[in-house]
A and B are shown apart, each in its own frame.
Chain A
Amino acid sequence: MAETDTLPAIATRREEATGFFQKLVSKGLGWARKNSLYQYPFVTACCGIEYMSLASARYDIARFGAEVPRFSPRQADLLLVVGTINCKQAPILQRIYEQMADPKWVMAYGVCASSGGFYDNYATVQGIDRIIPVDVYVPGCPPRPEQVLDGLMLLQKKIQEQEHKLIDRLPAAELARGR
């Protein structure tokens, strides 16, 4: 048997082994991350009242491990954009998103954040997905807390299915450029 016949088999088994380990780690990290979502509520409008209801005892977002609002984007995993975003606020929202550390997720809370709602006028951004990437859209004007919890559970499912790594950095060249 020549050496070249055995090498690919060994490589495949090694890939399998690391792949299996990586999947295990990814699953564990996903489980940890989906159940400890620190949120940053970017509250600009009336949806904020419904957000308070969501966060307080009756609907209790703490059941999903997302009870801690962090008022610094640097400590947050989940950006909740709660309310209408107008053109004047768009750069602020963009900067908040950029300040958040990876991994990060965004929820568009309410119809104004999702699509601009009925504010199809000279001042309103037609959905925050025109300026930042969005993971979950929760419609409603304002959405009922159950809807938001449903959205949160969808997001948890999405996080669980994503790939997570123990060490997840950009290549050094990209870091040096300052992405």
Chain B
Amino acid sequence: MSKAVTAALKEKFPDAVQEVYEGVGGDDCAFVKKDAVAEVCRFLKEDPAMAFNMAPYVTAVDYLGQEPRFEVVYNLVSTRLNHRVRLRVKVPESDLEVPTVTHLWRGADWFERYCFDMYGIRFLGHPDMRRLFMYDEFVGHPLRKDYPLKGRQPLTAERNFRDLYRGPGPSGRD
């Protein structure tokens, strides 16, 4: 891919954009500071030379044992200019609040709710910060690496019988 997007980012935001590199498959990637992400995204959307009009995937990663622990990844596409960029935002465990980008791309709404549901990262300014998949009674965030793999939290009473391969029922697993 061309370096035009990352070069423009680096020039426009010398402080907020910390590192740019070419990822696997030639995608343009950039590490962005957490507080500046809304500003960088607004530039990427509104500048006519960038014109990123779509955020097809926003997700998060848990690097347990590293500092900062979490990372939010924004994949952006411009359907007009046919180019992509990936923004990576490091989020420390002590401060799990990231500015929202839903006012720029409405489609980011459920992705941010997903990140909150699965990783517990809160998006400041999001209109409806609720869980997306899990139920409200669920405690914890299941895609965190320190969440037990089989930590089921049944809503109804389940028969706790012993079965041949899987051992006892939902409690005391893993």
Q: Is residue A82 contacting chain B, with contact meaning CB distance below 8 A?
A: no
- Contacts A87-B154, A91-B155, A94-B156 given; indicate if A122 touches B147 (C-beta within 8 A): yes
Q: Is residue A60 contacting chain B, with contact meaning CB distance below 8 A?
A: no
Digitize A112-155: 1 where CB-to-B-CB distance is under 8 Å, 0 elsewhere: 00011000111111110111000000000000000000000000
A126 to B159 Cα, complex, angstroms: 10
- Contacts A126-B166, A130-B169 given; indicate if A87 touches B148 (C-beta within 8 A): no
Q: How far is the CB of A168 from chain B (nearest CB, A)?
A: 25
Q: Is residue B149 contacting chain A, with contact meaning CB distance below 8 A?
A: yes
- Contacts A88-B134, A88-B135, A130-B169 given; indicate if A122 touches B156 (C-beta within 8 A): no
Indicate which residue in B148, B153, B155, B158 contacts A130 across the interface (CB closer than 8 Å).
B158
Q: Is residue B145 contacting chain A, with contact meaning CB distance below 8 A?
A: no
Q: Which residues of B contact A62 (CB under 8 A)?
A: none
Using C-beta atoms within 8 Å of the partner chain, give the interface range for chain B.
20 to 34
- Contacts A88-B135, A130-B169 given; indicate if A122 touches B158 (C-beta within 8 A): no
Indicate which residue in A90, A120, A123 contacts B142 across the interface (CB closer than 8 Å).
A123
A interface, over-half SS: loop
Q: Which residues of B contact A131 (CB under 8 A)?
A: 156, 158-159
- Contacts A120-B166, A126-B166, A130-B159 given; indicate if A90 touches B150 (C-beta within 8 A): no
Are A87 and B135 interface neighbours, CB within 8 A? yes
Q: Which residue of B lies closest to A94 (CB)?
A: B156
Digitize B155-174: 1 where CB-to-A-CB distance is under 8 Å, 0 elsewhere: 11011010100100110000
Q: Is residue B3 contacting chain A, with contact meaning CB distance below 8 A?
A: no
Indicate which residue in A121, A125, A129, A130 contacts B150 across the interface (CB closer than 8 Å).
A121
Are A121 and B149 interface neighbours, CB within 8 A? yes
Indicate which residue in B149, B151, B158, B161 contacts A125 across the interface (CB closer than 8 Å).
B158
Q: How far is the CB of A112 from chain B (nearest CB, A)?
A: 14
Q: Is residue B152 contacting chain A, with contact meaning CB distance below 8 A?
A: yes
Indicate which residue in B134, B148, B153, B169 contacts A126 across the interface (CB closer than 8 Å).
B169
Are A122 and B155 interface neighbours, CB within 8 A? no
- Contacts A88-B134, A88-B135, A120-B166 given; indicate if A125 touches B142 (C-beta within 8 A): no
Q: How far is the CB of A21 from chain B (nearest CB, A)?
A: 38
Q: Which residues of A contact B154 (CB under 8 A)?
A: 87, 90, 125
A1 to B153 Cα, complex, angstroms: 71
Measured CB to CB, the residues of B under 8 A from A are 133-135, 142, 147-156, 158-159, 161, 163, 166, 169-170
13 residue pairs bridging A and B, Cβ less than 8 Å apart: A87-B152, A88-B133, A88-B134, A90-B154, A91-B155, A115-B166, A122-B142, A123-B133, A126-B170, A130-B169, A130-B170, A131-B156, A131-B159
Measured CB to CB, the residues of A under 8 A from B are 87-88, 90-91, 94, 115-116, 120-127, 129-131
